[in-house]
C-alpha cells in the first residue's frame, strides 16, 4: 500500500530565476520578479515552486557555483526580497523548495579561498586535493562534465583540485565530517527560515572512492569518472546522516538529482523506508540517444522512450516514488524534442505530451514556459549561446576535429541547455514582457504567439490544458496512486497505458505522430459509459472513428 503524502499529490513548478521575470530592468530575472508572478502560478494551480539557486554566485554556471549559501545573489536582489517572496508564496498556499548545490561550491567561496592557501589550513580538507603524476600532469585522466580535464593545478601548494564540473566549481570532500556539519548547519538555517524542502544537485556524486584511478576513455579525450564518483561507497551513509540530522526534523519535501541512477539504486535513495530522500530525478529517458556524449541531432524512437518510462512506472511501484518530467533548466524544450514545434502542431503536441506525463504515477514537475508550449530557440550562431556546457562542448568536439561545425550546431540546436533558458514569454510587448532592459539571452522570436497573456485569454490554450490536468490530479486519486500498465508496447506511433485504482480505470492514449493512426479502443472503454476525462481535440473521439488524429491525446475514465 503506497503511503499517501502531500508531496506525492503535489505538482511542482521549476523557476530558473535568471530567466523568469526581471523587475529592475537589468535584463536578468530576480526575486521581486518572481513575487510579482505568484498570482499567475496560483492561477495555474501548482503547489510547490522548485527555485533554482538564488544564492551569491559569480555565475560561472548560472548560480550552480555558490560563493555564499546564506546570502542572495546580487543580481537577484536581497534576503528581504527572498523573505517577502517566501511569505507571499505561503499566503497563496504555494511551498518553496530550494536548490541545494553541495557536491561543489564556487572557487570564490570562503571555504575554498582558505583551503587553497596552504597544506595546513583548517579548510584544506574541505576539498579534494591530489599531487600531479610524476610527469606533472593531472592526478588521473578524468574529464569534466563541462569538457576538459576534471583537475585544475593550483600553484600556491603545487597540487591539483578536483572539479567534476567547471574549474570554478571545486568538489567538496564529503568524507570530511566538518564539511557534512557545515552543510547540515546551513540546511537547518534555511529550514528554520520556513522553506519547504530541497532539490539536491548531483547528490549521487558526493561520495568518491578513496582511490581515484584513471577511468575508461572509450575513444574519448578523457576518462570516465562515474565508477569512482557516482553512487560512491558512502553516498547512502551521508544521506541517512543528513536525514537524521536535518530532513527528519521538518515537514519538507526532498528530491535528489541522481544522474545515472538505476531503478534498484532509486529504491535506496528514495525508498519508502530507507530514511534518505522522498524521490529522485532519474535521467534514463532524457539520456536516450546520445551520439557524442549527450550530444546528438536525432530524435529518440518512441518505443525506446515508452520502454524506459514504463520501466520506472512499474519497477518503482510501491517501493519508491517517481518524479515525472520532460523539461528542466538542463534539458531542451519537450515540444521540440519529443513533440512537433511546427506552428500547426505545436499546441496539439504540447497538450499531448502533457497528457502523457501527467497521467502517470509520480510527482509531475512543470518547467517554466512548458505550460505555454515554449519551444527550442532557433540558434544559428555560437555567439547566441551563454551556457558553459554548450560553449565548451562546441570547442572540444569541433576543436578536436571529431565533429563538424554543421553537425555540432544541429546537436546544440536540439539539446543545448540554453533552449530552456531563454526568457519566460509573458506577453507580446518588447522582450516578451520579461524585461524593460536588454535580456541576458535573447527572447525566442515566437513570443508574439507563445506567451502567457495570450494563452490565459484563450480557454483552448496549452496554459489552460495544463491548468485542467493539474486540477484533475487534485480531484482524482487514481491519477496519483493508480497502478500503471503499458499497452501496445511495440507501437512506434502510439503511447497508450492504463491506470487502475480500487476498481476505477483510466485509459490514456497519445498519438506521437503527425499522421492519423488506427486505434481500436479496448472493449472495456468502448461504450459511452466510459467518460472522456480530458482530450486535446473537440468532437468525436477514437471510440467512434477508430482512428487517432495527428498528436491526439485522450483519457477515458471508467
Under the binding rule (CB under 6 A), the answer on residue 128 touching ligand TEU is no
68-107 positions binding ligand TEU, by CB under 6 A: 101
Among 30, 65, 75, 257, the active-site one is: 257
152-171 positions binding ligand TEU, by CB under 6 A: 165
> Which residue's CB is nearer to ligand TEU, number 294 or number 558?
294
d(CA 76, CA 466) in angstroms, rounded, equals 28
d(CA 336, CA 333) in angstroms, rounded, equals 6
50-69 positions binding ligand TEU, by CB under 6 A: 61, 64
User: What 3-state class would DSSP assign to 494?
Assistant: strand
- Contact between residue 419 and residue 376 where contact means Cβ atoms under 8 Å apart: yes
Among 168, 417, 473, 549, binds ligand TEU (CB under 6 A): 417
> Which residue's CB is nearer to ligand TEU, number 355 or number 390?
390
Q: Considering the complex, what minimum distance in angstroms separates the CB of residue 88 from ligand TEU? A: 26
Q: Considering the complex, what minimum distance in angstroms separates the CB of residue 368 from ligand TEU? A: 14
Under the binding rule (CB under 6 A), the answer on residue 224 touching ligand TEU is no
Evaluated on CA atoms 367, 372, 373, 374, the torsion sign reads: negative
d(CA 487, CA 310) in angstroms, rounded, equals 10
> Which residue's CB is nearer to ligand TEU, number 61 or number 327?
61
Among 145, 203, 279, 480, binds ligand TEU (CB under 6 A): 145
The 442-481 site mask, x for binding ligand TEU (CB under 6 A), equals: ----------------------------------------
User: What 3-state class would DSSP assign to 191?
Assistant: helix
Count Cβ atoms below 10 Å from residue 556 Cβ, excluding itself: 24
Q: Considering the complex, what minimum distance in angstroms separates the CB of residue 255 from ligand TEU? A: 12
Is 257 known to be catalytic? yes
Q: Considering the complex, what minimum distance in angstroms separates the CB of residue 182 from ligand TEU? A: 18
d(CA 554, CA 532) in angstroms, rounded, equals 7
Helix (H), strand (E), coil (C) string for 98-115? EEECCCECCCCCHHHHHH
Q: Considering the complex, what minimum distance in angstroms separates the CB of residue 329 from ligand TEU? A: 6
> Which residue's CB is nearer to ligand TEU, number 51 or number 554?
51
> Which residue's CB is nearer to ligand TEU, number 267 or number 294?
294
> Which residue's CB is nearer to ligand TEU, number 75 or number 257?
257
Is 540 known to be catalytic? no
Q: Which three cell numbers stand for residue 444?
A: 525566442
Query: How many residues of this chain interact with ligand TEU, rule: CB under 6 A?
Result: 14
Q: Considering the complex, what minimum distance in angstroms separates the CB of residue 286 from ligand TEU? A: 8
Q: Identify which of 206, 188, 306, 324 has the alpha carbon closest to the alpha carbon of residue 255.
A: 324
The 182-201 site mask, x for binding ligand TEU (CB under 6 A), equals: -------------------x
Question: If residue 70 lies in a helix (H) or strand (E), which one and from where to where?
Answer: strand 68-72
Q: Which three cell numbers stand for residue 321?
A: 516514488
Under the binding rule (CB under 6 A), the answer on residue 389 touching ligand TEU is yes
* Alpha-carbon distances of 298 from 147, 407, 408, 520, rounded to whole Å: 22, 11, 12, 30
Q: Considering the complex, what minimum distance in angstroms separates the CB of residue 393 from ligand TEU? A: 9
Among 34, 150, 202, 235, binds ligand TEU (CB under 6 A): 202
Among 150, 191, 259, 414, binds ligand TEU (CB under 6 A): 259
Q: Considering the complex, what minimum distance in angstroms separates the CB of residue 166 from ligand TEU? A: 8
> Which residue's CB is nearer to ligand TEU, number 206 or number 507?
206
CB neighbour list of residue 282: distance below 8 Å, 6 or more residues apart? 258, 261, 263, 266, 312, 322, 323
**Helix%, strand%, coil% for the chain, nearest 5:** 35, 20, 45
DSSP notation for 219-259:
TSSSB--HHHHSS-TTHHHHHHHHHHHTGGGS--EEEEE-T
- Contact between residue 506 and residue 475 where contact means Cβ atoms under 8 Å apart: no
* Alpha-carbon distances of 56 from 32, 108, 110, rounded to whole Å: 16, 10, 12
Count Cβ atoms below 10 Å from residue 4 Cβ, excluding itself: 10
Q: Considering the complex, what minimum distance in angstroms separates the CB of residue 311 from ligand TEU? A: 20
CB neighbour list of residue 301: distance below 8 Å, 6 or more residues apart? 492
By beta carbon distance, the residue nearest ligand TEU is 64
Q: Considering the complex, what minimum distance in angstroms separates the CB of residue 331 from ligand TEU? A: 7
Among 61, 81, 201, 370, the active-site one is: 201
Query: For 138-162, b where at least 16 C-beta lie within 10 A, e where not — what string?
Result: bbbbbbbbbbbbbbbebeebebbbb
> Which residue's CB is nearer to ligand TEU, number 81 or number 330?
330
313-332 positions binding ligand TEU, by CB under 6 A: 329-330
Q: Identify which of 398, 410, 389, 419 has the alpha carbon closest to the alpha carbon of residue 329.
A: 419
The residues that touch ligand TEU, with contacts defined as CB under 6 A, are 61, 64, 101, 145, 165, 201-202, 257, 259, 294, 329-330, 389, 417
Active site residues: 201, 257
Amino acid at each position: 500500500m503506497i503511503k499517501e503524502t502531500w508531496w506525492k499529490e503535489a505538482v511542482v513548478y521549476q523557476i530558473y530565476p535568471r530567466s523568469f521575470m526581471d523587475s529592475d530592468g537589468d535584463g536578468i530575472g530576480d526575486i521581486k520578479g518572481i513575487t510579482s508572478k505568484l498570482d499567475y502560478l496560483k492561477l495555474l494551480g501548482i503547489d510547490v515552486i522548485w527555485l533554482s539557486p538564488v544564492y551569491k554566485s559569480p555565475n560561472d554556471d548560472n548560480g550552480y557555483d555558490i560563493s555564499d549559501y546564506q546570502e542572495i545573489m546580487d543580481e537577484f536582489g536581497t534576503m528581504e526580497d527572498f523573505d517577502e517572496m517566501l511569505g507571499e508564496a505561503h499566503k497563496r498556499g504555494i511551498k518553496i523548495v530550494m536548490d541545494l548545490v553541495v557536491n561543489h561550491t564556487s572557487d570564490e567561496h570562503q571555504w575554498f579561498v582558505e583551503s587553497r592557501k596552504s597544506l595546513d589550513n583548517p579548510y584544506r580538507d574541505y576539498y579534494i586535493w591530489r599531487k600531479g603524476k610524476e610527469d606533472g600532469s593531472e592526478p588521473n585522466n578524468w574529464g569534466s562534465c563541462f569538457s576538459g580535464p576534471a583537475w585544475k593545478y593550483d600553484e600556491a601548494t603545487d597540487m591539483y583540485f578536483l572539479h567534476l564540473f567547471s574549474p570554478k566549481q571545486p568538489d567538496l570532500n564529503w568524507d570530511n565530517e566538518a564539511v557534512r556539519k557545515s552543510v547540515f548547519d546551513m540546511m537547518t538555517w534555511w529550514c528554520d527560515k520556513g522553506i519547504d524542502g530541497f532539490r539536491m544537485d548531483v547528490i549521487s556524486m558526493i561520495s568518491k572512492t578513496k582511490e581515484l584511478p584513471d577511468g575508461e576513455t572509450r575513444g574519448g579525450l578523457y576518462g570516465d569518472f562515474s565508477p569512482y564518483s557516482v553512487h560512491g561507497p558512502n553516498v547512502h551513509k551521508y544521506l541517512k546522516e543528513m536525514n537524521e540530522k536535518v530532513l527528519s526534523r521538518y515537514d519538507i519535501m526532498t528530491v535528489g538529482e541522481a544522474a545515472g541512477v538505476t531503478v534498484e539504486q532509486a529504491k535506496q535513495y528514495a525508498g519508502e523506508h530507507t530514511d534518505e530522500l522522498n524521490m529522485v530525478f532519474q535521467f534514463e529517458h532524457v539520456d536516450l540517444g546520445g551520439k557524442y556524449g549527450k550530444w546528438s541531432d536525432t530524435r529518440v524512437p518512441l518505443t525506446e522512450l515508452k520502454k524506459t518510462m514504463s520501466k520506472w512506472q512499474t519497477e518503482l511501484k510501491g517501493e519508491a516514488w517517481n518524479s515525472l518530467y520532460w523539461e528542466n533548466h538542463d534539458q531542451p524544450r519537450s515540444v521540440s524534442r519529443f513533440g512537433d514545434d511546427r506552428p500547426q502542431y505545436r499546441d496539439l503536441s504540447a497538450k499531448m505530451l502533457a497528457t502523457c506525463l501527467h497521467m502517470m504515477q509520480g510527482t509531475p514537475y512543470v518547467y517554466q514556459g512548458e505550460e505555454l508550449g515554449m519551444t527550442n530557440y532557433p540558434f544559428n550562431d555560437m555567439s547566441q549561446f551563454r551556457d558553459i556546457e554548450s560553449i565548451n562542448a562546441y570547442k572540444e568536439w569541433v576543436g578536436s576535429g571529431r565533429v563538424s561545425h554543421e553537425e555540432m550546431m544541429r546537436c546544440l540546436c536540439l539539446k543545448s541547455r540554453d533552449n530552456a533558458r531563454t526568457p519566460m514569454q509573458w506577453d507580446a510587448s518588447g522582450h516578451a514582457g520579461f524585461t524593460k532592459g536588454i535580456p541576458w539571452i535573447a527572447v525566442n522570436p515566437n513570443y508574439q504567439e507563445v506567451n502567457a497573456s495570450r494563452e490565459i485569454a484563450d480557454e483552448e490554450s496549452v496554459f489552460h490544458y495544463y491548468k485542467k490536468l493539474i486540477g484533475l490530479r487534485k480531484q482524482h486519486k487514481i491519477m496519483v496512486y493508480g497502478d500503471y500498465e503499458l499497452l501496445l508496447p511495440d507501437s512506434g506511433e502510439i503511447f497508450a497505458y492504463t491506470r487502475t485504482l480500487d476498481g476505477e480505470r483510466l485509459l490514456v492514449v497519445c498519438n506521437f505522430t503527425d499522421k492519423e493512426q488506427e486505434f481500436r479502443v479496448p472493449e472495456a472503454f468502448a461504450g459511452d459509459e466510459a467518460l472522456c476525462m480530458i482530450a486535446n481535440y473537440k468532437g468525436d473521439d477514437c471510440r467512434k472513428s477508430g482512428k487517432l488524429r495527428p498528436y491526439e491525446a485522450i483519457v477515458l475514465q471508467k
